[in-house]
Structure 1
Amino acid sequence: MTSNNPPRWLVVLAFLAIYIVWGTTYLAIAVGLQGFPPFVLTAMRCVVAGLLLLAWCLARGEKLPGRGTIGNSAVSGILMLVGGTGLVSWAEQYVNSGYAAIIMATEPFFFVLLDKKQWSSYFSNKWVLLGLLIGFAGIVLFFHYTGEQRPEVSMDTTMVLTGNGVLLLGAILWVVGSLYARNKLDHSHSNTLTTGLQLLAAGLFSALTAAATGEWGRFSFAQVPAAAWGGFLYLVVMGSLVAYMAFTWLITIRPPALVSTHTYVNPVVAVLMGWAFAGEHISLLQVLALLVILLGVLFTNVPNYKLMKAV
């Protein structure tokens, strides 16, 4: 799946995966944290998903690539999945799932700032700029929301602020890793193979991080409740195998800033899921912000809609 002109229906399904499915993973992380420390959770979900993908590739007769591709896959995977996903898991100990998704919605702006190769395209396209500005306005509206954070630290302002800073760092690292993967990976290999390598590398690095922070010493499989296991399995299948694979494929066939618009829709899904299943508060201001964010996504995608009509 390395063609620049893939079937339209496949592109649509991939965008649905990163828009909708990824939005639900913020709640799944919160559920998983009921039994798993953050980097233990990240390590296990990435290792399991990575091994499954690599086993599938080897069973189909694919051969492992050379050191260069393995190394580049490892670097990009660690940046995105440890720096991004792992830090989100850590921060969700202190902020609720919807709020975490809101802060991660800053990713498109870092794509525009860091993707120098696309600067001429981004800054000369009125639709992209208008969409990003409208999306940013929606995010600002979200930041007026001061709803409940994690009950056990709701009065600890320092940890809430630290969680916000960690989420912002996670967004930056995710963007850096995405751009690195786009520019450095050898796309002659299947997306499944390189994604498996990324996941496995990120899982192993997360396991080392968990060891360094003492998480393994505080963790016991016997004490993990059924709900946390359910969250873990959902993250492996829907988060890592479905949504992440869709993202790593889309980033090779569509402009990164366009693909990153999933971070506009994810808060919509995350807030609604948190409200419906975890009792997280949703205000009228948030509903208004969701509508503004969706409008930003629409405008940002206008050039792509025109391109698809022309094909």
Structure 2
Amino acid sequence: MSSPARVSLTLIASFFALYFIWGSTYLVIRIGVESWPPMLMAGCRFLIAGAIMFGWMLWRGAPLPTAREWVCGGIIGILLLSCGNGGVTVAEHWGVASGVAALAIATVPLFTLLFGMLFGQRNTLLEWAGIGLGLVGIVLLNLGSNLQGSPAGAALILFAAAAWAFGSVWSRRLPLPAGPMASAVEMLVGGAALLLGSLSSGERMTELPTAAGWGALAYLVVFGSIIAFSAYMYLLDHVRPAAATSYAYVNPAVAVLLGVVFAGEHVGMAEAAAMAVIIGAVVLIGLPQWRGGKVAEAEPQST
């Protein structure tokens, strides 16, 4: 058994991975799409990470997924990774600031509650208040100059949030592989779908990626997709689920700060107000989980 000090350091490192590594992926995506076509980069990211995780799980003795698990895992991978993360990547390629993209993705818990109703979930008055407040935040976000300058990017980023939420809700009702093998399958299929999308849309590499472009891809594979995910799984085993999913409140602020400091992004008054409103809405939705220590119907996840 690990010593208390060792466990404490591991907990700190795991929370750091969730809060700052996942929060930083939005800026790293922006850096990456300056060298890579967006769907090609996202597809390579998830295929590589999925292959590493798949091989690691087989080495640890995990059984091969059944045909049904491959199909179900593939559907969820397309919704979460191809449509969700792929949509974020393309939107940033179209000019949506990384911090604003992260803030828009913070609406996932709102969409999650709405889609949960399709499966018979009943929302509390507090959750309905959070949904209403979140919708106000979305309106404020779209009044900002960033999304007004890219209407297609605004629509795509909200579609990405909705796709991630729907996939998260549906995933709880489908037979998926056990443990991290589910994520490996989702990444492999989602990554393959993104590469097909890249090919069919005519994406082309006109020149080799820069060192920053290669570094961005490596960071997203190793840190964004493997290390941060492992930290999340560790926290689910050692802290309350509501604490493990608290990154949904922190990632937008981290992404906005990094975008302003390192990428010269500008956050206007409308976007700043939207951040306060949306994070407040997500906190309202999360209050019942913190009080009861229960897992949400479908926890929001990062890119």
TM range (shorter): 0.7 to 0.9
286, 289, 293: which one aligns with 1:301: 286
Give the corresponding residue for 1:172. 162
Matched, 1:266 2:236: no
- Superposition deviation, residue 237 in structure 1: 2.0
For residues 235 and 205 of structure 2, the distance between their equivalents in structure 1, rounded to whole angstroms, comes to 36
The one-letter amino acid of 2:97's match is N
Give the corresponding residue for 1:4. none
Residues 285 and 87 (structure 1 numbering): CA distance in 2 closer, same or farther, change over 3 Å?
closer
For residues 262 and 246 of structure 1, the distance between their equivalents in structure 2, rounded to whole angstroms, comes to 12
Give the corresponding residue for 1:141. 140
- Superposition deviation, residue 105 in structure 1: 2.9
* SS at structure 1 position matched to 2:145: coil
Residues 91 and 17 (structure 1 numbering): CA distance in 2 closer, same or farther, change over 3 Å?
same
Give the corresponding residue for 1:161. 151
The one-letter amino acid of 1:268's match is A
The one-letter amino acid of 1:41's match is M
Give the corresponding residue for 2:198. 210
- Superposition deviation, residue 167 in structure 1: 1.6
Give the corresponding residue for 1:182. 172
- Superposition deviation, residue 284 in structure 1: 4.8
Matched, 1:30 2:20: no
For residues 247 and 236 of structure 1, the distance between their equivalents in structure 2, rounded to whole angstroms, comes to 16
* SS at structure 2 position matched to 1:65: coil
Compute the RMSD of aligned alpha carbons: 3.4
Residue ranges of structure 1 left out of the alignment (5+ in a row): 1-6
Question: Is 32-41 or 92-101 further displaced after alignment?
Answer: 92-101
For residues 154 and 223 of structure 2, the distance between their equivalents in structure 1, rounded to whole angstroms, comes to 25
For residues 26 and 211 of structure 2, the distance between their equivalents in structure 1, rounded to whole angstroms, comes to 18
Q: Tell whether the 8 Å contact from 1:135 to 1:264 is kept in structure 2 after alignment.
A: no
Alignment of 1:269-284 (within 5 A): 269-284=254-269
After TM superposition, the score normalised by the length of structure 2 is 0.79
Residues 250 and 134 (structure 1 numbering): CA distance in 2 closer, same or farther, change over 3 Å?
farther
Give the corresponding residue for 2:81. 81
219, 229, 243: which one aligns with 1:234: 219
Residue ranges of structure 2 left out of the alignment (5+ in a row): 1-6, 295-303
Give the corresponding residue for 2:185. 197
- Superposition deviation, residue 101 in structure 1: 2.2
The one-letter amino acid of 1:145's match is G
1:163-213: per-residue Cα shift (whole Å, max 9, x none)? 2112222222212221222110346x2x21111111011111111111111
- Superposition deviation, residue 47 in structure 1: 0.7
* SS at structure 2 position matched to 1:35: coil
Q: Tell whether the 8 Å contact from 1:195 to 1:245 is kept in structure 2 after alignment.
A: no
Alignment of 1:3-14 (within 5 A): none
1:66-104: per-residue Cα shift (whole Å, max 9, x none)? 111111111100111001111111111222212222332
For residues 78 and 163 of structure 2, the distance between their equivalents in structure 1, rounded to whole angstroms, comes to 9
For residues 138 and 152 of structure 2, the distance between their equivalents in structure 1, rounded to whole angstroms, comes to 19
After TM superposition, the score normalised by the length of structure 1 is 0.78
The number of equivalent residue pairs is 283
Question: Is 36-45 or 291-300 further displaced after alignment?
Answer: 291-300
* SS at structure 2 position matched to 1:301: helix
Q: Tell whether the 8 Å contact from 2:106 to 2:279 is kept in structure 1 after alignment.
A: no
Q: Tell whether the 8 Å contact from 1:101 to 1:263 is kept in structure 2 after alignment.
A: no
* SS at structure 1 position matched to 2:173: helix
Give the corresponding residue for 2:297. none
For residues 112 and 11 of structure 2, the distance between their equivalents in structure 1, rounded to whole angstroms, comes to 20
